[in-house]
Amino acid sequence: TIYKCFIDIEGNKIIDNKNRKITIFDPFYWKKIEKTVIFDKEFVDSIKGKI
């Protein structure tokens, strides 16, 4: 799933394959959503703009 939203991530953005909670702002629902994601290569590259 591709999200078009703002992401707030605290701490290092490193590939360690751990589950972490992130906060996103979804402009379609106009609210903050907390999600658990795996910091794998694909996710970290996507938040660094490398995809």
Taking only the tens place, the pLDDT of each residue in 9-40 is 777 788 899 998 888 888 888 899 898 999 99
What pTM was computed for the model?
A: 0.64
Q: Which amino acid is at 27?
A: P
Task: From 33, 34, 36, 42, select the one nearest 19 (Cα to Cα).
Answer: 36
